[in-house]
Amino acid sequence: MKKAILDAFRTLDRDLVSIPYRVIPNFESTTPEALASLPLEQKQVLLQKLLPTLDGSCALIAYLENKDLYVAHAGDSRAVLGRRTASGGWEAIDLTRDHQPAYEFELERLRKEHPGEEADVAFARKPGGVIRVLGGFMCSRG
């Protein structure tokens, strides 16, 4: 089950990231100037096809098999387990942590994966402001 969930997340990520390579001929060697010189109608078609790569997204999966609970997430969708207490009340237990660069564990992961690129990858829009990914996303794995 763990492998199936991991494979699903990786496949979706790979599919989204590869969209420009599938919709723009010779994407690797295409310059911004070449894209800018395309006819407006062609630009609009490309933009429609590229929009999924520009949106943030979150995913949360919870799968219960017998007494095993599998939880996976990307982004800031949070899994919370409601559990009955001995006194008959309820308690909430966080099963995941949001993937946001405002949290030190996530900012450190970004630093390790993108050494020397912090100013481009995760930065505050204004000094002392909320840290965003690529200038706009609150989620760092969405």
Total domains, the chain: 1
* Inside any domain, residue 10: yes
* Inside any domain, residue 21: yes
Packing angle between helix 2-17 and helix 40-54, nearest 10 degrees? 160
The residue to which tokens 């402001």 are assigned:
129
pLDDT value for 62:
93
pLDDT value for 80:
95
- 27-86: pLDDT as tens digits: 888 888 888 898 999 888 888 888 777 666 788 999 999 999 999 998 888 899 999 999
pLDDT value for 98:
85
pTM of full prediction above 0.75: no
Bridging pattern class, strands 59-65 and 68-74: antiparallel
* Inside any domain, residue 139: no
pLDDT value for 142:
66
* Inside any domain, residue 13: yes
* Inside any domain, residue 27: yes
Cβ burial of 79 (10 Å; 0-12, 13-18, 19+) is middle
The range of the structural domain enclosing residue 15 comes to 2-54
* Inside any domain, residue 112: no
Q: Which residue has the higher pLDDT, 134 or 104?
A: 104
pLDDT value for 118:
72
